[in-house]
Amino acid sequence: MVSKTGAIARLALFLFLLAGMAGTSSDLIAQTPVVTVRFANPQFNCSTGEYCLDVEFQSNTAGQRVFGMNVRFFYDDNVLELIDFRDFQNGYGPFAPNPPTKFTSPPAGPAWFNFGGAAEFINGAMQLNNPNAPPIFISTNGWTKLFTVCFNVDDPNANLDQFCPSVVWDLEQNPANGGFLPGDDGVVVTLVNPDPNQNSTPANEQVVQYNWQYIGNGSAPYGQPNPTQCIAIRCIDLSLDIAVDNPTPNVGGTVVFTITVNNATGADPATNVDVTSLLPNGFTYVSDDGGGDYNSGTGLWSIGTLNGGATTTLNITATVNPAGNYLTLAEVTAATGDDADSTPNNGVDTDNDNNVEDDPGDEDDGDGVLVVPQMPSIAIVKVGTFVDLAPLGVTNPGDQITYAFTVTNTGNVTLTNVTVTDPLPGITVSGGPLASLAPVHRTTRRSRRYTPSRRRTSTTVA
């Protein structure tokens, strides 16, 4: 921009330097590169509460590099508060005044810019402080970022899903008029001078206003908010836990799964919250206390809005089937808001370690619980060994048979006080009862020898 107070002097300097060359003053102005600056790429960090905008440049002339800039703009003091300039690219950094100066005008906000509150004016600067850094040339068909401006969000009633604050560059609708304040040059951009003996050369400045547009003929009010670049700044922190009242029930019995969802204290209200927990085939659905918000066919629990610091629960009653999958999962599958430590609907085992039960390595918006139904089962094998006494080859009174009983726990629960008996007269089983028999464990017990009586000449061993 050619400033209001300095336009004549600058033009005279150009004419002096170019004396003897063909052309007029209008030719010289036309040959000055036009550099346009804008705010872009809004970002909000829920961890820090910072709202940041990139400052980007475009030139109508190839091969241009920014040397410096007077960074001047306004915003609604009820909505934003400047933190700093940061993330400077190769060789660039802040320049005096650093930190930027602030001036707040309550009447200028509504009267000049149609703000709801006072206008806060920022006056700062940036410059190429390291000329030996790799050069950054301004794009002619795209945009080139050189630094970032960050703010705190002050508006307690901000639209958390469509946040569109106005940030107004200090440049009137006609750039030749300079800034909005009396005697203010406004936004000034200088370029790296191709002459190594000179620091900078001027540019003609233009701006793209951010969520704000010019109106009228250049007198107050100069413009009004125009929300076009909006982002969500809703910060939520959902966590989920699923538990069961009896992790080792009997087959055919009932269990109650309790799903608990919490939105952390201090978080914004989480909206459109959905949880999915579909019972696996190891269970048969009986009932729930969701009041119609839980669909047992799909497993979808529609919570809706969950305020910061609030907790909600769902209890699902089910019957334990004799076979099937007994691992029940639950996960937040939808929510409106930015959750810093979890992403809805990306699975429960997010660390891929095949563990989902209260696993601290998984995201906190999903969980699983394993039920191990009690299935007692036992097997016994009886084997007899015949001792043939004389006369040989004939079962006679006095011949002996020794029986061995092998008992196996074929269930999944430890058995206690296991007693083995044999209905065959005259047989006594030694070694019992068994105090404890673990699953998939067997033991052998032997009987005393059985001697056939005179009334019995043979024995059939089952």
Q: What angle is formed at CA 16 by the lines to CA 13 and CA 19, rounded to 5 degrees?
A: 145
Band the pLDDT of 223: cuts 50, 70, 90. Answer: very high
- Regarding predicted confidence, which is higher, 383 or 34? 34
Strands (E), 264-337: 270-276, 283-288, 294-295, 300-306, 311-320, 327-336
Tokens at 120, concatenated? 């806060």
State the Cα–Cα distance between residues 291 and 313, nearest whole angstrom. 12
> Are the C-beta atoms of 367 and 356 separated by less than 8 Å?
yes
Confidence at residue 442, expressed as pLDDT on a 0 to 100 scale: 63
pLDDT of residue 401: 77
Give 24 or 122, the one with higher predicted confidence.
122
Residue 221 has pLDDT above 70, yes or no: yes
Report the pLDDT averaged over residues 41-68: 96
Please report which confidence band the pLDDT of residue 447 belongs to, taking 50, 70 and 90 as the band edges. low
Q: How many CB atoms lie within 10 A of CB 130?
A: 12
Return mean pLDDT, the chain: 87
Q: What is the structure's pLDDT at 148?
A: 98
Query: Which residues of 46-135 form beta strands (DSSP E)?
Result: 50-59, 66-76, 80-86, 92-95, 101-105, 119-128
- Give the Cα separation of 71 and 170 in Å (integer): 8
Is the predicted pLDDT of residue 217 greater than 60, yes or no? yes
What pLDDT score was predicted for residue 390? 66
Q: Is 79 exposed, middle or buried (0-12, 13-18, 19+ CB in 10 A)?
A: buried
Tell me the per-residue pLDDT of 155-177, one tens digit each, with 9 for 90 and over.
999 999 999 999 999 999 999 99
Tracing tokens 């024995």 back to the chain, one arrives at 459
Q: What is the pLDDT of residues 83-127, one digit of tens each?
A: 999 999 999 999 999 999 999 999 999 999 999 999 999 999 999
Give residue 230's identity as a one-letter amino acid code.
Answer: C
Res 387: pLDDT = 75
Candidate from 37-51, 244-258, 398-412 with smallest mean pLDDT: 398-412
- Average pLDDT rounded to a whole number, residues 263-275: 96
CB 65 within 8 A of CB 137: yes
Question: What is the pLDDT at residue 445?
Answer: 57
446 — pLDDT class (breaks 50, 70, 90):
low
User: Range with the lowest mean pLDDT among 153-167, 346-360, 370-384?
Assistant: 370-384
Element (H or E) spanning 108, and its range?
helix 108-113
Buried b vs exposed e over 332-362: b needs ≥16 C-beta within 10 Å?
Answer: bbebbbbbeebebeeebbbeeeeebeebeeb
The sign of the torsion formed by the CA atoms of 149, 152, 157, 160 equals positive
Comparison of pLDDT for 69 and 445, the residue scoring more: 69
Query: What pLDDT does residue 441 have?
Result: 64
Q: Report, as an integer, the average pLDDT of 232-245.
A: 97
Residue 5 has pLDDT above 50, yes or no: no
Instruction: Write down the pLDDT at residue 316.
Output: 98
Give the model confidence (pLDDT) of 422-438 as tens digits.
887 777 777 778 888 88
Which residues are bridge partners to 415 per DSSP? 437
